[in-house]
A and B are shown apart, each in its own frame.
Chain A
Amino acid sequence: MRPPHKSISAWLTIALAVSAVAPVVALLSMSLRRGASVLAVRSFLPPSDPSLANFAEVLREPGFAIALANSVLVSAVTVCSNLLLGVLTAWGIVRVSGGVRRDVLATLIFAIAVPPQAVVIPIFLIFEQWALLDTYAALLLPGLLIPLNVLLYVHAIRAIPPSLLEAAALDGASPAYVLRRVVLPLVTPTSAVVAINTFLASWSAFVYPFLLTNSSNRRTLAVALALLKTQDQVRWPLVMAGAVITIIPVILVFLIARRRLVDGVTAAAVKS
C-alpha cells in the first residue's frame, strides 16, 4: 500500500521524465537523418533510413580529436580541483565563527551574482594583461573553483553532527585527520553532485574557452561544436550529431556518480 501523495508524485515524475526525454529522442532521430537542413516537426520523427554518416562526418571534422582531448583534460583537471579545493574551502569556512564566516559566504554569493555577460569584458582584459590568452591556463582557470560547489560543501559539512567532530577531536585527531577520515566520507553524496556539476560545467563551457583562446589546438568540444554552424546553412543533423557526441560522456559521468551518491548515503547511515 502506497500513500496517495506518493503515487501522485510518482506519476508526475514519470510524466516529467517522458517530457524530458521526448525532445532528446527527437534529437537522436535528427542526428541519424541525412539531408534535412531545416528543423521541422517532421524531422523529429524516426528517420526511414537511419545512418551514422553524420557522426562519422563530425568525427572527421579537422581538429575534432584535439578538441575532444582538450575537453577531457580540462574536465578532469577542473573536477579534481573542485573536489579538492571545494571541500577544503568549505571546511575552512565552516570552522570559523561569526563575522569571517559571513564575509566569506558573502563572497561566494556575490560571485554567483556577477552577471557573466558583463564580466567577460574585464576578464578578457585581465587575461590579456597577464598574457594568458590562448594558453591552457585560459581554459583551466575560470573553472578551477566554482562558487556553487563551495556552497554545496558548506551545507553538507554543516549538516554533520558537531558531536561527531568533537568526539574525533577528543580522541586526539588532528584537523587534517578529521577532514580526511570523518568529513570526506560523510560528504560523499555532495561530492558526487559536485563532480557531476563541475564535469557538466567544464564540458559544456563555451563562452570563456571561445573568447580566451585562438588557436585550433586549444579548442574544446563545445567550441568545435559551435563551429559546425556556418553562415550559408546550418547543418542541423551535423549539429545534433555533435550534440549527441558531447552528451554521452556527461551521461556516463552521471551514472557513475549516481552510484557514489547511493554508496555515500549508505556509508553515512552505517556511521551514524
Chain B
Amino acid sequence: MEHVQGRFAFRLRSGALLVALLFGAARPSSAGEVALPSPDNPTQRSRETSEIRFWQLSLRPPVAEALAREFEKRNPGTRISVETLSWENGFEKLVLAIASHREPDVFELGSTWIPSMRSSLALAPLDALDARVGGELLLREPGRGAAGTDAMPWLLGTRVLFVNRALLRSAGIAHPPRTTEELFQACGALRRKHPSMPCIGLAAADPYAPWQHLFSFAWTADPGFIGPTVGVEDLRAGALLQAARVYERLRPVVRADRPAALDRDFLEGRVAMVISGAWLPLVIRDSGQQLDYEAAAIPALPGGRSHAFGGGEYLVLSRRTALRTESERFIEFLLERETLERVTREQPGLLPARRGVAAPPSLDPRTLAARQVMQRELETAATPPPDPNWAAAEQTFSAIADRILLRGSTAEEALAAAQAPLRRIERRTASGRRLSTRNILVFLELGAAVLLAVMAGGMYARRDRLHAAARVPWLAFFAALYAIPALYLVIVSFASTDLLAMDATYAGLRNYRELALDPAFLRAIVITLLFVIASVPATLALALVTAYGVRALSRVGRVCEALVYLPPILPVVVTATIVAALFAGGGLVDSLLAAVSLPVPEPSWLVNERAALAAVVVHAVWTSFGYYALLFAAALAAIPPNVREAALLDGARPWLRFRSIDWPAIRPVVLLVLLLHTVRSLQVFPEIVVMTSGGPLGATTTVVYYLYEEAFRRFDFGRAAAVATLLMVAIGLLSIPMLMRARKEV
C-alpha cells in the first residue's frame, strides 16, 4: 500500500512539474497567437493576393471553375478559389466552418438555412448589391431579414404538376387539372379506366420534402397562411386544413412514396400525375423514354390561384470576410445574365433567379415547355417563413402529409398531432455562466499532454521499457482522436450551445432532462435496440455459416469468400441506393414475394412504418456478414491442421469437434465481433440517410440519426453532445463483460 502511495506521489510531483513546464511553454506561443493572421481579424489577412474563397454545391466543378477563371480575367488581382461541396455532407462542412470561424468569403446557402444563419449573425449585409440588381431577381423575400438584405437569390427551385398526357387522354381528359375539383374528377375518370393505377404521386416518408407538396396546395388558397414564425395559432383552420382535406380525399388514389420513387414511377408510366421539380424533365429526357407529358401549375383550391413552392440556393457573404467589395463584385458577377445563361447552358436543370435569362438553346421543345411553366410559377411562388426554427418545423409539417397518406389519419387528426411538436419548437433562450468552448479544448489537450508525459516518465521506472514504449503511439492517438473529443462532448453536454455561434452557457442537467422527456428520443432508443436485436444475431449466424461453408468448398469456397466480401467494400451510398431500389414499391423484393404468394406490404417497404426498419436491417446484414466471415475464417484457419486430424482419427463427433477444437479457437474472435458489431449497429447511420432519412414518421430514426439532426439541423450542439454521452456510456456498459473476461484470461 505504501509503495503504491509513494508511486502516486511521484507521479503527482512529476505531473505538477510538467504542468508548470507546459504552461511556461504555452505562454509565449499563446501570446504569439495574437499576431497570427486570424479570420476574425480582417486587417491581418494578406491583401496582395485578394483570394476570395467560394463554396458552392449547385454547379458541377468544371462549370464553377470556368466561371471563376472568367471573373479573374475581368478583375485582375483577384483570385477565386472554388470548392464544390458534395450534397452528402456539404452542409455539415459549412456548419463546422462557421463554428470555427473559417467559413469562406462567399458561399451558397439553401433558403431553408438563411434564417438560422441570420440569427447566428453569420451573414453580412448586401443592401447595396440588392439595390443594384435586386429589381431583376425573383424570390427576394427569404434574403431579407429585419436588418436588411443579406442573401441574394441565385438558382431556384419550385414544384409543379407533371401529367402523363397519354394516360389522361385515355381517360378522356383533355388538359391538366387546374383546380382541385378538376383533379378529383380526373382521378375518378382515371380510376374507371385503369382501376389499379394510382392517379397522383405525392411525396411522403421524407422529413424534408412532403410539406413542399402539401403547402403547394395550401398556398393556392392563402399564400400567407403561415406567418413569419412557425408558431401557428390553430392549424385546424384555414388553408392548411383545406389542403389536408384534399390529401385525405385523394388518399385512395394516391401513390405516396419518397420523391425519387415517384419520379421513377412517373417515368415508367405507373402513375398518371406527379408533383416534382426541375430535374424531372431532364431525367425523362435522358432516360430515352418517349413519354408524352406536360408540366402545369399545382391545382388550386376553390377560389384560389396557384402559388407554387419557392425556394432555392442563395448567395451570401460571410460577416467575417476581409474582401467585402471584391466578394460583392463576385456575387454580382454570378448573378449577371450572361453568367446565368452560361450556367443553364451547362446544367439545364437549374432555374436562374434572374428574370430574362435566355433558356438553354439545346433543349427539346417538351423539356423547354416544362421549364417555362416553372419559370412562370416562380413569379408568384410563396416561400417558407423566415423563422430560425423553420428547419426544425419542416419535419413536423411533413408529418402532417405522412399521417394522412401513410397512417390513414383524418385531416383534423393529422393537424392536431402537429400542434404539440410545433409548440415545443420555441427558441431556447440561453442564460447563465458563459463557457469558452475554445478553452475547453486547450484545457483537455493540456491534461492529455500531462498524462502522456507522466506515463512516459513512468516508463523509465519499469523493467519492460520496450513494451511500455510500444503502447505509447496508441495512447497518443487515443488521446488526440478519441479521449479529448469524447471528453469535450461530455463537457458540452452540460451546456446549452448553438453550433453556429459556438457560444455556450452552463445549463446543468437541462439537456439530459429534456432528452428524458422527449418522446422522439425515447422512441429512437427503442428503434435502435430493435435494429440491434434484429441485425446482430442474423449477421453473426450468416458470417459463421459462410466461414464454414468456405472451408467445406475449397476452390469454389475461395470464390464465394471473395464474392461475399464485395458488399462490405462498396460505398454505402451505392449499396443503400441499390437496396432501396430493390425494396421500392413494385421492385424486385415485391415481385419475389408475390411469386411465392407472400403478402406484399402496403404501403410499400420504405414508406411503411412497420416495414421500413426491416429493409434497413437487410441492408445492414447484407453489407456486413461477408466481412465478419473473413474474420471467422482467419480464426478457423489458425487452428493447426494436425489438431483437427487427430480429432478426426479419434472419431470425435462433429458437435464435439466444434465444441472442443473450433469453439475455443474462434471464441475470442466471436466475442470481439459480437461487441464490435453491436457497437456498430448502435451507431447505424449512413444507410438510414440514404434509404429513409429517418422516416416514415420517425420509424427509422435511430439514436445517432437523432443526434445528427440535433447537431446539424437544429444546431443544438449541447443536446447532441448529451445524446453522444449517453451512447458512449451505454456502449461502455456493454463492453464491461468483455473487459472482465480479458482480465481473467491474463
A residues at B contact (CB < 8 Å): 2-3, 5-7, 9-14, 16-21, 23-24, 26-27, 35-42, 44, 61-63, 85, 88-89, 91-93, 95-98, 101-102, 104-126, 128-129, 133, 141-142, 144-145, 147-148, 150-152, 155-156, 158-159, 175-176, 189-190, 192-193, 196, 200, 204, 206-207, 210-211, 214-216, 222-223, 225-227, 229-233, 236, 239-240, 243, 246-247, 250-251, 254-255, 258, 261-262, 265, 268-269, 272
Q: Which residues of B contact A24 (CB under 8 A)?
A: 566-567, 570
Q: Which of A111, A113, A150, A152 has its CB near the most chain B CB atoms (within 10 A)?
A: A113
**Nearest-CB residue, chain A, relative to B497:** A121
Min CB–CB distance A65 → chain B (angstroms): 14
Min CB–CB distance A236 → chain B (angstroms): 8
- The reply to whether A226 and B549 contact each other, CB–CB distance below 8 Å, is no
Min CB–CB distance A4 → chain B (angstroms): 9
**Nearest-CB residue, chain B, relative to A89:** B474
- The reply to whether A116 and B668 contact each other, CB–CB distance below 8 Å, is no
**Nearest-CB residue, chain A, relative to B671:** A155
B residues at A contact (CB < 8 Å): 57-62, 65, 81, 83-84, 86-89, 92-93, 96, 99-100, 102, 260, 263-264, 267-268, 278-279, 282-283, 286-288, 313, 347-350, 437-438, 441-442, 445, 464, 466-471, 473-475, 477-478, 480-486, 488-489, 499, 542, 545-546, 548-550, 552-553, 556-571, 573-575, 577-579, 581-582, 587-588, 622, 625-626, 630-631, 634, 637-638, 640-642, 654, 665, 668-669, 672, 675-676, 679, 683, 685, 704, 707-708, 711, 717, 720-721, 723-724, 727-728, 731-732, 735, 738-739, 742-743, 745-746
Q: Which residues of B contact A175 (CB under 8 A)?
A: 464, 466-467
Judged by DSSP, the binding face of B is helix
- The reply to whether B574 and A239 contact each other, CB–CB distance below 8 Å, is yes
- The reply to whether B83 and A214 contact each other, CB–CB distance below 8 Å, is yes
Q: Which residues of A contact B668 (CB under 8 A)?
A: 155, 158-159
A268 touching B638 in the complex, CB below 8 Å, given contacts A89-B471, A216-B83, A226-B88: yes
Alpha-carbon distance between A41 and B738 when the two chains are bound, in angstroms: 44
Alpha-carbon distance between A158 and B635 when the two chains are bound, in angstroms: 12
Alpha-carbon distance between A233 and B281 when the two chains are bound, in angstroms: 10
Min CB–CB distance A224 → chain B (angstroms): 9
- The reply to whether B563 and A17 contact each other, CB–CB distance below 8 Å, is yes
**Nearest-CB residue, chain B, relative to A208:** B481
Other contacts beyond A109-B675, A121-B711: 5, CB < 8 A: A156-B638, A215-B83, A226-B573, A233-B279, A250-B569
Q: Which residues of B contact A189 (CB under 8 A)?
A: 634, 637-638
Alpha-carbon distance between A88 and B553 when the two chains are bound, in angstroms: 35
- The reply to whether B574 and A27 contact each other, CB–CB distance below 8 Å, is yes
Q: Which residues of B contact A152 (CB under 8 A)?
A: 631, 672
- The reply to whether B267 and A38 contact each other, CB–CB distance below 8 Å, is yes
Min CB–CB distance B634 → chain A (angstroms): 5
Alpha-carbon distance between A53 and B170 when the two chains are bound, in angstroms: 39
A117 touching B86 in the complex, CB below 8 Å, given contacts A39-B264, A246-B571: no
- From the candidates B467, B473, B568, B631, name the one contacting A85 in the complex (CB within 8 A): B473
- The reply to whether B571 and A243 contact each other, CB–CB distance below 8 Å, is yes
- The reply to whether B634 and A261 contact each other, CB–CB distance below 8 Å, is yes
A200 touching B622 in the complex, CB below 8 Å, given contacts A91-B467, A109-B738: no
Alpha-carbon distance between A222 and B640 when the two chains are bound, in angstroms: 40
Alpha-carbon distance between A165 and B625 when the two chains are bound, in angstroms: 35
- The reply to whether A196 and B630 contact each other, CB–CB distance below 8 Å, is yes
Q: Which residues of B contact A254 (CB under 8 A)?
A: 562, 565, 569
Min CB–CB distance B550 → chain A (angstroms): 6
- The reply to whether B286 and A126 contact each other, CB–CB distance below 8 Å, is no
Q: Which residues of B contact A63 (CB under 8 A)?
A: 61
